[in-house]
């Protein structure tokens, strides 16, 4: 059995697409936390935010972190706000290798521009401004994660190769 690989980072940094590639390469189960929360709740995250609020969503997210941290051999793509609760990163670090993916604001905007279910960007006409503001609030939390990969000028396959290399480097004795 092996440690989990946990991909964290802001929206649009490539966590989900990279995670799927890594999971295929390592023959592991892939879990997209946002998708699993939507599946279990029976509604999109934007609807959870609208109906029950962000605090309720964060409690669902926290419970899922605790559940997944008890398992092994997973590749997990987290939601961008997972870093807002330090217990999430602490729990994931106990049973896995946490890797933070980064991208510059312009790259993020290009990647999420056509995505209609980004609740923190919905209704905001100046999305690049919203992205920069959110990044500024969360940057220290992302930077606190020791393992980092810049994805702005990389394909998902290239990022996946870096993830696997970092993971193997952290799990060898």
- Domains of the chain plus CATH, in order, are 4-159 (3.40.50.300)
Question: Would the pLDDT of 118 be above 60?
Answer: no
d(CA 58, CA 81): 8
DSSP for 101-166 reads: EE--HHHHHHHHTT-S--TTTTT-S-HHHHHHHHHHHHHHHHHTSSEEEE-TT--HHHHHHHHHHH
User: What pLDDT sits at residue 9?
Assistant: 95
d(CA 14, CA 159): 8
Question: Would the pLDDT of 120 be above 70?
Answer: no
d(CA 173, CA 161): 20
d(CA 18, CA 166): 14
| pTM for the full predicted model | 0.91
Q: Quick one: how far is CA 132 from the chain centroid?
A: 18
Average pLDDT over the chain, rounded to an integer: 90
pLDDT band at 173 (very low <50, low <70, confident <90, very high): very low
- Provide the percentage of residues in the chain whose pLDDT is more than 70: 91
């Amino acid at each position: 059995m092996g440690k989990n690989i946990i991909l964290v980072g802001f929206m649009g940094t490539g966590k989900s697409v990279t995670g799927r590639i890594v999971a295929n390469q390592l023959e592991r189960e892939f879990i997209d936390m946002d998708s699993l929360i939507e599946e279990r709740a029976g509604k999109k995250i934007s609807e959870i935010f609208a109906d029950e609020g962000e605090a309720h969503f964060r409690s669902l997210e926290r419970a899922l972190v605790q559940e997944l941290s008890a398992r092994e051999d997973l590749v997990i793509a987290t939601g961008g706000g997972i870093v807002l609760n330090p217990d999430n990163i602490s729990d994931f670090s106990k049973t896995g290798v946490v890797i933070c993916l980064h991208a510059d604001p312009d790259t993020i905007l290009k990647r999420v521009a056509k995505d209609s279910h980004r609740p923190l960007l919905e209704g905001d006409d100046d999305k690049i401004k919203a992205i920069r503001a959110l990044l500024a609030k969360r940057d220290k939390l992302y930077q606190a994660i020791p393992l980092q990969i810049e994805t702005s000028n990389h394909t998902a396959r290239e990022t996946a190769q870096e993830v696997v290399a970092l993971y193997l480097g952290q799990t060898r004795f």
